[in-house]
Chains A and B, each alone.
Chain A
Amino acid sequence: MVNGFGLAVPPRSIFPPSLTSNHIEGKAVDMTISWKNTIKVKKKDGTVIDIPFMQNVNGNTALHQAGESYGVKKLKSDAPHWSYNGR
């Protein structure tokens, strides 16, 4: 069962799972986004911004701005994590 469900028990992890995560209420999503060079993205207000690809997604402030305009905020400590409140 541990393997089947990929449960994070030792030796996979020593940390118990969070019981307060935004994922539990479906208010967060983990996603890995990649593209080549720079793309143009329309924000919710209609303005178009250039977003370069950056290996470090936590440092890609232009991407964060685009997401935030639609109410999807980046949690900067964890690369794939986005949510309604940035946590």
Chain B
Amino acid sequence: MKILITIMIAMTLMACAKDSDSAARSYNLAWFHGNCLALNETTIKTDWNIFLLKESKEVIKATLGKKVEDDSCAPLLQDRREVNEAEGYSFYQLVGSEAVADEEIGVALLTTEEILPEGLDTNNNKQADSFSYCTTSEGVVFYSWDAEKGELEPFWQEYYYMGYDVEPSCKF
């Protein structure tokens, strides 16, 4: 009897662990320029964690600060504001992002999770995601892709209008 109860407890714990492991974690993807976060999602709460993915592969943890409506936020500089606002973004200060230089840009992950797991899977399709950015003729595209479809078919992308012409590097 004792053995049977032990087995049942063990099976219950295994089932719970499996449910927990497979539970879809919730992530929102966004982008940042320096201390400024561009959001087109309105359900983000101020207590969510924000992980800033730097080009150096370093990850900086920050939180959501106050909404910014002046050109202290680079995407709201005079030559960019109209188009970036038309894209539907709102802009927020990042709190705790001192390790991000003013000129740095990159993808941001917003989540209720405290830490980012290995093999991060933001679209819950059991494939690890990759993140990067490239330039169009006048802006930057931030994007994420799965290994299966590859970098040329990103499942997520957002555009940052820069207000002047750059050499395009995007391949898609």
Contact A15/B166 with A55-B86, A77-B136 known, Cβ cut-off 8 Å: yes
A8 touches B138 (CB 8 A): no
Contact A77/B168 with A18-B137, A32-B86 known, Cβ cut-off 8 Å: yes
What is the bound-complex CA distance between A55 and B170, given in angstroms? 23
| Residues from chain A with Cβ under 8 Å of B83 in the complex | 32, 79-80
Interface of B is mostly: loop
Residue A10 CB within 8 A of the other chain: yes
Stretch of B90-98, B100-108, B112-120 contacting A (4+ beta carbons < 8 Å): B100-108
What is the bound-complex CA distance between A61 and B140, given in angstroms? 22
In the complex, which of the residues B77, B138, B140, B165 contacts A12, with contact meaning CB atoms closer than 8 Å?
Answer: B77
Cβ distance B63 to chain A, nearest Cβ, rounded Å: 22
By the criterion of a CB under 8 Å from any partner CB, how many residues of chain A are at the interface? 26
Scoring B77, B162, B164 by chain A CB atoms within 10 A of each residue's CB, the highest score goes to B164
Residue A64 CB within 8 A of the other chain: no
Contact A13/B162 with A6-B78, A77-B170 known, Cβ cut-off 8 Å: yes
By the criterion of a CB under 8 Å from any partner CB, how many residues of chain B are at the interface? 32
In the complex, which of the residues B161, B168, B170 contacts A80, with contact meaning CB atoms closer than 8 Å?
Answer: B161
Residue B123 CB within 8 A of the other chain: no
Cβ distance A28 to chain B, nearest Cβ, rounded Å: 8
What is the bound-complex CA distance between A10 and B77, given in angstroms? 13
| Residues from chain B with Cβ under 8 Å of A10 in the complex | 102-103
What is the bound-complex CA distance between A55 and B40, given in angstroms? 14
Interface string of A7-29 (1 = CB under 8 A from B): 01011111111111101100000
What is the bound-complex CA distance between A40 and B101, given in angstroms? 48
Interface string of A56-86 (1 = CB under 8 A from B): 0000000000000000000101111100000
| Residues from chain A with Cβ under 8 Å of B168 in the complex | 77
